[in-house]
Amino acid sequence: MKLLLSLWVSFTMIFVSFVPGFAPPDNTHQSNKSYPYIFVHGLFGWGEDEGINRTLPYWGSTSCNLVENINKEGYECCDASVGPVSSNWDRACELYAQLTGTQVDYGIAHSKLHNHARFGRTYDKPIIDNWGGNDSSGRVNKVNLIGHSFGGNTVRLLTGLLSNGAQSEKDVTAKEDLSPLFEGGKENWVNACVTICTPNNGTTCAYLADELHIRNLLLTLIFAYSGIMGRSLANGYVDFHLEQFGLTNIPGKDKTDEKLVNAIIKMLEQTEDNAAFDLGPEGVQKLNRYTEVNDSVYYFSYAFKTTVKSPVSVNQIALPSTFAPLLPFATMIGEYKHNRITDFPIDESWLENDGLVNVVSAKYPFDEPHTEYNPSDIRKGVWNVMPVSTGDHGTAIGIGVSEEAIMSFYNGIIEMIENLE
């Protein structure tokens, strides 16, 4: 009995002894509030252009309006709105158009391959004036990109396309007709690229959906919901950005002529131009061909962990503080150590997770250089991997935490970036 009691006490202490541990910035330089901060939401997320953000901000969530608070502190920042269930390619193209105040161009090769329109909506006003140009002192106008979850993959792709362009689009597009995004040569347009709880190598949730044979069912339900909402009075309160498939209307613009059923079928027929494919390890491997690190950019990655090792097995089990809807996912990911779907290697290193994303995946892309964060030696062109924080996937954007805690976390990120050379 004493032995059992000792084991129980020890196990309980494991559960209660975890506290958030964010790496403090090296505050040795004068902050100059130089470059704007662009926040990019993840799967099923939204931005400041959508009505829901006034009711429930994505960034800050139940704690505060994070972006509004940061703006009040004197930093220029905004939270962009891109397709919540779209592929990373489509999202990156939409983000570029918003930042530059241009029409969304998904590219000839990409659009033909995935059977959707080449062009999307037009943004009349750029988020960033003279982005990539020089300011009055001759310095390049850059941005800092911060992405949560799937949004981290989006900012990685945008950074890669700006630097390297897309050969697949160059091969089939006349030079005068090629989107500037696909030209490359814009390696100086991004100052820092920050990913938070991002599946940089995919998430085993994708394999779990396949094992349960629910991927196609979920996609059908998601596309049907998107189409119904995107053609209703709620369009604009939420914005699915799927007009390239004829599935949703552009808020405030003419209605699509495509029949809902036909649009849903069109989306289901293409299997790789959606978030579901891009979230899997195979999808991210495809993405990573465009995301080679740039020697002119600072890269930072933040992983969160809401599980601990089981006392009776190698599996991971969820902490009691885990956001309730994420508990079953944290448990299933914490047990998934053998890939029975594809040849992509999955082992016990993938068990730790934040309820949706594996810690090992959130740390850094496997095929890119990385180093543990050192405040006195922050490098460009390499992933500076921050210490793992305790919390779940929602903790990172303010779900269930105090305003003071979430502001402290993001102020730490901003202060660190502001003090970079």
pLDDT at 135: 87
Which two tokens mark 215? 């991927």
In a domain, 297, yes or no: yes
DSSP 105-163: E--HHHHHHTTS-SEEEE-SS-SSTTTTSB-TTS-B--EEEEEETHHHHHHHHHHHHHH
pLDDT at 162: 97
Question: Which strand (E) or helix (H) includes residue 215?
Answer: helix 215-230
Which two tokens mark 28? 């040795």
In a domain, 173, yes or no: yes
3-state secondary structure (DSSP) of residue 249 = coil
Parallel/antiparallel/unpaired status of strands 37-40 and 77-80? parallel
In a domain, 311, yes or no: yes
DSSP 273-334: SSHHHHHSHHHHHHHGGG----TTSEEEEE-EE-EEE-TTSS-EEE-TTS-GGGHHHHHHHT
Question: Using one digit for the tens of pLDDT, what is the confidence trace for 239-256?
Answer: 999 999 999 999 999 899
Question: What is the Cα–Cα distance from 312 to 289, expressed in whole angstroms?
Answer: 40
Question: Across all residues in the chain, what is the average pLDDT?
Answer: 91
Question: What is the Cα–Cα distance from 310 to 317, expressed in whole angstroms?
Answer: 6
In a domain, 18, yes or no: no
Is the pLDDT reported for residue 287 higher than 70?
Answer: yes
Biggest distance spanned by C-alpha atoms of the chain: 79
Which domain CATH number covers 242? Answer: 3.40.50.1820
In a domain, 19, yes or no: no
Question: What is the Cα–Cα distance from 290 to 252, expressed in whole angstroms?
Answer: 34
Closest residue by Cα to residue 326 from 349, 296, 305, 356: 356
* Nearest-5° Cα angle at 87, 298 to 85: 110
CB 44, CB 35: distance < 8 Å: no
Parallel/antiparallel/unpaired status of strands 298-302 and 383-385? parallel
Dihedral (Cα; 131, 134, 137, 141), 10-degree rounding: 30
Question: What is the Cα–Cα distance from 273 to 192, expressed in whole angstroms?
Answer: 27
CB 285, CB 302: distance < 8 Å: no
Closest residue by Cα to residue 98 from 60, 75, 128: 128
pLDDT at 11: 37
pLDDT at 137: 84
Q: Which residues pair with 143 in a beta bridge?
A: 190
Is the pLDDT reported for residue 400 higher than 60?
Answer: yes
Tell me the residue range of the domain where 56 lies. 25-418
Question: Using one digit for the tens of pLDDT, what is the confidence trace for 352-385?
Answer: 999 999 999 999 999 999 999 999 999 999 999 9
Question: What is the Cα–Cα distance from 104 to 99, expressed in whole angstroms?
Answer: 11
pLDDT at 93: 98
Find how far residue 108's CA is from the centre of its chain: 25
Is the pLDDT reported for residue 112 higher than 50?
Answer: yes
Q: How far apart are the first and last CA of the chain?
A: 60
CB 402, CB 317: distance < 8 Å: no
Burial of residue 272, with CB atoms counted within 10 A of its CB: 0-12 exposed, 13-18 middle, 19 or more buried: middle
Average pLDDT of the segment spanning 267-284: 94
Closest residue by Cα to residue 303 from 217, 385, 403: 385
pLDDT at 2: 40
In a domain, 1, yes or no: no
Question: What is the Cα–Cα distance from 309 to 83, expressed in whole angstroms?
Answer: 36
Is the pLDDT reported for residue 31 higher than 50?
Answer: no
The model's confidence at residue 21, banded by pLDDT at 50, 70 and 90, is very low
The model's confidence at residue 23, banded by pLDDT at 50, 70 and 90, is very low
Question: Using one digit for the tens of pLDDT, what is the confidence trace for 177-197?
Answer: 999 999 999 999 999 999 999
Average pLDDT of the segment spanning 307-318: 96
Parallel/antiparallel/unpaired status of strands 304-305 and 389-390? parallel
CB 57, CB 65: distance < 8 Å: yes
pLDDT at 136: 83
In a domain, 14, yes or no: no
Size of the chain in residues: 421
How many separate domains does the chain show? 1
* Nearest-5° Cα angle at 48, 404 to 294: 85
Question: What is the Cα–Cα distance from 13 to 308, expressed in whole angstroms?
Answer: 12
Average pLDDT of the segment spanning 16-34: 47
Question: Using one digit for the tens of pLDDT, what is the confidence trace for 117-175?
Answer: 999 999 999 999 999 999 888 889 999 999 999 999 999 999 999 999 999 999 999 99
The model's confidence at residue 6, banded by pLDDT at 50, 70 and 90, is very low
pLDDT at 33: 61
Question: What is the Cα–Cα distance from 116 to 110, expressed in whole angstroms?
Answer: 9
pLDDT at 14: 38
In a domain, 164, yes or no: yes
Average pLDDT of the segment spanning 63-81: 96
